[in-house]
Amino acid sequence: MAEENVFIARQPIMDRNGSIYGYELLFRESSLKNFAEIIDDLAATSQVLISTLTTFGARKLLGSSYGFININEAVVEKGFLNSLKGEKFIFEILESTLISPEFISQISEMRDKGFLFALDDFIFKDQFIEYFRPLFDYISVVKVDLLQNDPFIIKKKMDIFAPYKIKLLAEKVEDMEQFDYCKQLGFELFQGYYFAKPVILSGKKISPDQLAIIELIKLLKSNADIHIVESVFKKYPEMTINLLKFINSAAFGTRSKITSVRQAIALLGMNNLMHWLILLSYAGSGGDRNKNPLFKTAGQRAKAMELFLKNTMGEKNRQILDEGFLVGLLSLMDALFQTSLNEIIKELNLNEEINNALMNHEGTLGKLLSLIEETEKYEVNLKKVSDILESMNATMQDWTNNYFESVAWIEDMPLSD
């Protein structure tokens, strides 16, 4: 498992009143270059989507504004956008996109489902206009590149959009004179260095294990039962963390309180889960989980809590067992993402019992978490361990049996080479 910095650039898009209408989200390879040499549009779009939804979070990155993201026919064909809440984003169809009858049909269907689209880098040339004309009925925004268009040609030909419900966006506005001229022409949206250069943001990416992605995709293609899919997620803590961050992002839009891995999978649905996994694989995941012991520790904690609830406390309620597993799994998120646990929990929409256990070590789950944290210390406070066990009517032998069973479980887990 590899932990690395991930970068994304964000440039504001303004309306006529100077308010932020949205942000274009741009792929960046590092914090040193405020541009990208993009060889693979599909991989670049995948990385921007994954970074927006899991590393940064759509709410934090966009607020109540739109996110503009570049796409082409391959992104649509692969179904990468199907699991998203379309109205949070405006997807910019690149000028290099192959406009086929199949692509037009897909855009039409997605528009009916609430997805919004823009045309990127539009040029007022007859051949260009006719090539993209079949999409005009499905487009919300046309971005006009001021550097690639003669201002007098823009004025002469912009009425081609009059019959359509399309906002015109002046792109690459570099000074007040251009801004005023475009406003007089009737442009509603504006983007360019006159307002702000793209700002590069960075965050920590926890890359899901490629083996987990392959294993899950195979299961989904074979129509495996949800409990089998859930068991694979339980073996890969990083996958579960990314799943929870995604399902609670503004892009997915759920308000349900998550109590288990199974519930998260059920809410997303098997088809959307497949799209999300394929998207992850295109975004460039992989790595060796042996290099980050936090994932082993998180998985072991989760299993130890589940086993103690089941074997020692006689708990048979599946929801409570799942909650115990989830508390252990998420208890090291602050170390994984190098930010406060409170900030991370806000994004995950967990129920009150899980929140209280993680934040305040309250309730049965909180006691169990305190127990396992004390057990992991270099110098264990045996009295504290005994006091916690006594309050739960359990013995040291009970805890030892479950703890070592969880160690065996995590060690038997297949790891990447």
CA pair distance 190, 173, nearest whole angstrom: 7
Q: Which residue has the higher pLDDT, 404 or 190?
A: 190
Specify whether the CB–CB gap between 194 and 176 falls below 8 A.
Answer: yes
Strands 3-15 and 20-28: what pairing? antiparallel
Per-residue pLDDT band for 200 (boundaries 50, 70, 90) equals low
Strands 66-71 and 89-93: what pairing? parallel
Specify whether the CB–CB gap between 239 and 233 falls below 8 A.
Answer: yes
pLDDT at position 351: 87
Q: Which residue has the higher pLDDT, 106 or 236?
A: 106
Specify whether the CB–CB gap between 275 and 367 falls below 8 A.
Answer: no
Specify whether the CB–CB gap between 1 and 291 falls below 8 A.
Answer: yes
pLDDT at position 232: 86
Beta bridge partners of 171: 145, 191
Provide the percentage of residues in the chain whose pLDDT is more than 90.
Answer: 35
- So where are the chain's domains? 3-203, 207-411
Overall pTM > 0.85: no
Per-residue pLDDT band for 204 (boundaries 50, 70, 90) equals low
Q: Which residue has the tokens 């460039």?
A: 284
Residue 38 has pLDDT above 70, yes or no: no
Beta bridge partners of 201: 8
Residue 295 has pLDDT above 90, yes or no: no
Q: Which fold has domain 207-411?
A: Hypothetical protein af1432 (1.10.3210)
Residue 162 has pLDDT above 90, yes or no: yes
Run of H or E including 102: helix 101-112
- Mean pLDDT over residues 400-407, rounded? 88
pLDDT at position 337: 64
pLDDT digits (tens, 9 = 90+) for 52-85: 776 667 777 777 889 999 999 988 988 878 777 6
Specify whether the CB–CB gap between 54 and 220 falls below 8 A.
Answer: no
Q: What is the CATH number of domain 3-203?
A: 3.20.20.450
Select the highest-mean-pLDDT range: 255-259, 305-309, 317-321, 413-417: 305-309
Per-residue pLDDT band for 199 (boundaries 50, 70, 90) equals low
Residue 37 has pLDDT above 50, yes or no: no
CB atoms within 10 A of CB 296: 18
pLDDT digits (tens, 9 = 90+) for 219-230: 887 888 898 999
CB atoms within 10 A of CB 379: 5
Residue 360 has pLDDT above 90, yes or no: yes
Give the chain's mean pLDDT: 82
Q: Which residue has the higher pLDDT, 45 or 71?
A: 71
CA pair distance 192, 396, nearest whole angstrom: 65
Cα–Cα distances (Å) from 312 to 300, 358, 363, 393, 409, in that order, read 17, 21, 16, 9, 17
pLDDT at position 30: 45
Beta bridge partners of 118: 92, 141
Helix (H, G, I), strand (E, B) or coil at 29: coil
Radius of gyration, CA atoms only, the chain:
25
Specify whether the CB–CB gap between 365 and 306 falls below 8 A.
Answer: no
CA pair distance 262, 233, nearest whole angstrom: 9
CA pair distance 56, 203, nearest whole angstrom: 7
pLDDT at position 307: 94
pLDDT at position 33: 43
Q: Which of 208, 211, 191, 104 is nearest to 147 (CA)?
A: 191
pLDDT digits (tens, 9 = 90+) for 113-147: 899 999 999 999 999 999 999 999 999 999 999 99
Burial class of residue 190 in the structure, from the number of CB atoms within 10 Å of its CB (0-12 exposed, 13-18 middle, 19+ buried): buried
Per-residue pLDDT band for 1 (boundaries 50, 70, 90) equals very low
pLDDT at position 104: 96
CA pair distance 412, 78, nearest whole angstrom: 35
- Mean pLDDT over residues 91-108, rounded? 94
CA pair distance 293, 71, nearest whole angstrom: 37
Residue 335 has pLDDT above 90, yes or no: no
